Structure 1
Amino acid sequence: MDWGCREVAILLEHRSEQLKHMAGDSLNQLPRVLEMSLQYVKRFSRFTNQDSIKQVREVLSRYQMTEFELAVLGNLCPETVEEATSIVPSLKMAGRTYDDEAIEKMLNDLLMIKKFD
């Protein structure tokens, strides 16, 4: 599952370096769409290193969420239970085992990863 902006940024940075090397280090040689995509994902990257990304995946995977839920929570990093459930209403669907306390613990775990990122 490839959902993190930072993961995409790492891949695009690698490809950008390859292209710059092949073009003799001329930034003007990069395809415009690659340059714009790289700027976009850097702007929205919540986490800056691969270890943090792995930790986020581990934390969120404990909660048996769908890929969509993981992507939204991992990218947007809501800070409150209300914010999390408003952007991912399925967290509160009948039959789910997430109460406010479980969601708050998950959000606190994400916040701790972000603090040490």
Structure 2
Amino acid sequence: MATPNLPNEQADEDASELLFPKEFENADTLLISEVQMLLEHRKQKNESKEEEQELSDVFMKTLHYTSRLLIQQKLHKFEFAAIANLCPETADEAKALIPSLEGRFEDEELQQILDDIQTKRSFQY
């Protein structure tokens, strides 16, 4: 039989209230590009073993999801991380901070990418 929650009782974890398990107290958050690089490295390491272990469905789905997000934006992993870290507001600012963007994107297309990333960022904070 479940016991009702007491008013002073606090949940162990609740992301909506920024309550996380102790393991996360000193942990840094990762960008999608960083997660994708870590997962890809783990997959390659697993494939190079003599006895390749089957990777879990969750692992593979997460790897495909992160890869798909990066491909949809047509950004290199470095560019995505730089945009996420530097937070440029305009296409001109992004091109000045990240020279590899110059010539690869029209200003309108790059501005749309920046706006999309800003929208996603606003949901995270």
- TM-score for the superposition, normalised by structure 2: 0.43
- TM-score for the superposition, normalised by structure 1: 0.45
With a CA cutoff of 8 Å and minimum separation of 6, indicate the structure with the bigger relative contact order: 1
Q: Which has the larger radius of gyration?
A: 2
